Structure 1
């Protein structure tokens, strides 16, 4: 068949599925009624192509390749293979390797051409999901706001005047705008939760080491993990279950990863910890403070018992992520580019990473020791509680506001997220009551390492999703 006839047939298959959303239930209902997985995948490819100039993607899978992948998955399903993610589409942050596609971390001076895809990608494709493209990000995954990128800037899915959150900005926006069924990012200090909060979707940040990082360009080998973005907790948890597990090829993979209970747990009767009221900060955003109070009131209505704890150890751990010798770790993967191509690095990214050059080995050991002490403090503080509950973000800024004060306001965005990975915690961010300009607030349920199923249960209960 000629290339022109192939393209025409692909358009025809795509046009048959105009009204099917990429949500899991909608896709599965369509498949049950006889929809073609190829057509469903092509609609996602068309949606991505239509948004190609909007700063959401750094690269798209060619349409013919999307069709071929979907056709291969459909054939495997017809042959009797169990493909639980058949018909679903996804995208990945541009620090996640995809074979044959350049990994750029959204920096023109940095490009890696991988020979194989990251393990998380191959696991999803093995389960039947089809990759659509690679998402924009704050350069080198350094930032929580989404503006540390080449033009065009990625815009908030709910209100384009506001930041989309970062660094996994494109991943969250692709889900929030209904382009793909789900997406993957990376999370060092909140990049799997802040963009979810800004765009009104769910972000699942797993226990560090639960999901393999093999094939992901690190921001921090000590702290990084692969989060999931989806429209609801149930969908995000399903993807987490598909990608979780021990990977002997990843030195940072947890030996007990296969034993961690990831399935959503019943949260009935749970005790929840909250920071002391005097320690809460909203940076002058009265709407955010009111929304958090409303979210806590909802939890009490649901029958949860909330008790205040000292938040200071968590604050200290958060400060260390970007205000200590831990910053020097970024130089392991990006040092050559920072030194040799500084003129091609986003100024805010350069200002965040370059201080790492000034720390000594002694400084690094001291902060590692302190992190160990703070991890123990978290274990003791949360003993007896199902989770710690905080706002995912204390406020949200417009793009104009963020560009006016890019360093200070970026730090504000990490107030309630920075501490999670250094203290070896897991978290789920879920939308809450309306906040600034009508955008939804977000609540994070944060648990000790290995409590991924517990925090998912709490988040699903808060969101009133059906079990």
Structure 2
């Protein structure tokens, strides 16, 4: 899956490796290839797109920071002359001008490609509440894409555009990022203009951004942010982790395992404190289980009354529930005052720090959501709903650990600490772009070839042992080096080191490894499998069994176990 980045396209433009028109052709071809994924509601025609390209002919990359960069727009955000439907064809209108954020991006040289699918009226976190069909997950089409900004996220994840606009009221700019292994950024309330955005809960709505790199997120943020915050080299004083979590769905055990790995990673990397989630979760529940839900009815209730058949069933249920419970003014103020008290306490804790939560603690297959649309959707927002009610900024990124399913985390800060949010997100991104490598011989610390790893940006990670089904041999080579060979019946645990090597260096490093050594899977004592040095079987006269030493280091020192 080839993911596009702004830097990648801009470098190609500078070298004349391709033209904007060729990029547009490729984008449209990919959109056609993945038509069954239900990503687009209104894909622009090539002639419509080229009209924007023509506006760039008198400009250059120096003039326009987003020159020639294709992007997608969630179809509850206006693009001049193109219908806005919010995934409700009967609601459709044609705006005379673009939403302010869209115009800011076009002015910076970006090229709109079309309007993307969403949970109708941006109400949902599953991506399956649209008359245009459920948007399929970019990594596994049987799974939900997440919502409500489903099409915007999947368009980025499948490499159709460099970035996209979504909206975020309860997590719509974060959940799809986590489920499609991309980045989702939601700045503080009011940082991005919502002029030209169809409201869902107008007091809480935010425009959000999806992209593949933090560098792209920061560049886009600079074009549209009202606050103009920039990334710097700050690191948080402390990371707050939750005291307890609820995992759900058919993949709950995999998500719980991924979170345990993630929590262990940050406990090793940073100063960590456990935070009581009770009040934060009470705020999260109040978004749909209290008077705030009435704002959904305020946004679209009048339209729903006139054309009820145009509203998808799950949304109709939400609107009905909002009216059935006659919330009083007292209940509204009580809920607001509770949120304000929690916000004040939490923001005091978070100053200079970060709250880190799993973006979601499970996922579903599309058919499971269609069978039970209300409950399945509610679970997706367990750790996202609180964000805007507490006026926090949020960044959703892939977790920096290897996981069986796409697993994302969200970093929360106070609005004043958005530079910290972005800089720490960039640090996590760097770690995620490294591969763990198990070494057992001359590349270990203190041995002659350690310098090869260091020269490629490698970092020692930790010492450990293999599982008890390996044997260690001294090879008859020059210089002498060890080889580790799997032997399930007569193996022992072997001491090894785990290093981290930047992904871009891994391929060229592997090419330097001489026969009979190679790279394969090594099982560690904790059951995890990682890439590492393995050895082919050689004739007995060409290798000496030194398993009794337990490690190459002990063998060099003459110390048997």
Q: TM-score range by the shorter chain?
A: 0.7 to 0.9
Q: How far off is 1:389 after superposition?
A: 0.4
Point out where structure 2 has 5 or more consecutive residues left out of the alignment. 434-561
Compute the displacement of 1:164 (Å): 0.2
Give the superposition deviation at 1:154. 1.0
Q: Where in structure 2 are the equivalents of 1:224-373 lying within 5 Å?
A: 224-245=205-226, 257-258=227-228, 261=229, 263-268=230-235, 270-276=237-243, 279-283=244-248, 285-301=252-268, 303-357=269-323, 358-362=325-329, 363-373=331-341
Shift in alpha-carbon separation, 1:319–1:38, aligned structure 2, 3 A: same
Q: CA deviation at 1:20?
A: 8.8
Within a 5 Å distance, the mapping from 1:159-170 to structure 2 comes to 159-170=140-151
1:428 lines up with 2:395 in the alignment: yes
Deviation per CA, 1:160-194, whole angstroms, max 9, x where unpaired? 01000000000000000000010000000000000
Contact 1:87 1:130 in 2 (8 A): yes
Distance 1:225 1:137 in 2: 15
Q: 2:376 aligns with which of 387, 403, 409?
A: 409
Point out the structure with max Rg over C-alpha: 2
Determine the structure 2 residue equivalent to 1:46: 29
The residue matched to 2:360 in structure 1 has which SS?
coil
Deviation at 1:39, TM superposition (A): 2.6
Mapped to 1, the partners of 2:153 and 2:2 lie a distance apart of: 20
Shift in Å at residue 269 of structure 1?
A: 5.8
- Structure number with greater CO (CA < 8 Å, separation at least 6) is 1
Q: Which runs of 5+ in 1 are unaligned?
A: 1-18, 246-256
Q: Distance in 2 between matches of 1:269 and 1:326?
A: 32
The counterpart of 2:40, out of the listed 47, 57, 61, is 57
* 20 and 410 in structure 1: CA distance in 2 versus 1, 3 angstrom threshold: closer
Q: Summarize the Cα distance change of 1:334–1:106 in structure 2 as closer, same or farther, 3 Å threshold.
A: same
Aligned length: 426
Per-residue CA deviations over 1:354-404 (Å, capped at 9, x if unaligned) read 222243451333322222222213223424x52100000111111122222
**Higher strand content, 1 or 2:** 2
Q: 2-side partners of 1:108 and 1:122: how far apart? A: 24
Cα distance in structure 2, aligned partners of 1:325 and 1:462: 37
Task: Give 1:21 shift.
Answer: 6.0
Specify the SS of the correspondent of 1:226. strand
Given the alignment of the two structures, is residue 457 of structure 1 paired with residue 423 of structure 2, yes or no? yes
C-alpha displacement at 1:152, in angstroms?
Answer: 2.8
Cα distance in 1 between the residues matched to 2:428 and 2:201: 32
Partner residue of 2:19?
Answer: 36
Q: Are the aligned partners of 2:359 and 2:384 in contact in 1 as well (CA < 8 Å)?
A: yes
Q: CA deviation at 1:434?
A: 4.4
Q: How far did residue 62 of structure 1 move? A: 1.5
Matches within 5 A, 1:194-209: 194-209=175-190
Please identify, of 105-114 and 191-200, the stretch whose mean Cα deviation from structure 2 is larger.
105-114
Is the CA contact 2:3–2:156 (under 8 Å) kept in the aligned structure 1?
A: no
Q: 1:189 to 1:20 in 2, by over 3 A?
A: closer
CA distance in 2, matches of 1:439, 1:74: 43
Deviation string, structure 1 residues 35-69 (Cα, Å, up to 9, x no partner): 32233233223322443443101101121121121
Runs of 4+ deviating beyond 6 Å: none
> Which moved further from structure 2: 117-126 or 65-74?
65-74
Alignment of 1:153-164 (within 5 A): 153-164=134-145
Residues 156 and 163 of structure 1 are in contact (CA less than 8 Å); yes or no, is this contact kept in structure 2?
Answer: yes
CA-CA distance at 1:308 after TM superposition: 0.4
State whether structure 2 residue 343 is matched by structure 1 residue 375: yes
Task: Provide the TM-score with structure 1 as the length reference.
Answer: 0.87
Shift, 1:286, TM fit: 1.6
Q: How does the TM-score come out when normalised to structure 2?
A: 0.73
Question: 2:82 aligned to 101, 117, 123, which one?
Answer: 101
Assess if the C-alpha contact under 8 Å between 2:3 and 2:212 holds in 1.
no
1:29 Cα deviation after fit: 1.5
Matches within 5 A, 1:128-143: 128-143=109-124
Relative distance call for 1:161 and 1:52 in structure 2 (3 A) is closer
Tell me if structure 2 keeps the 8 A contact 1:390–1:444.
yes
Partner of 2:53: 70
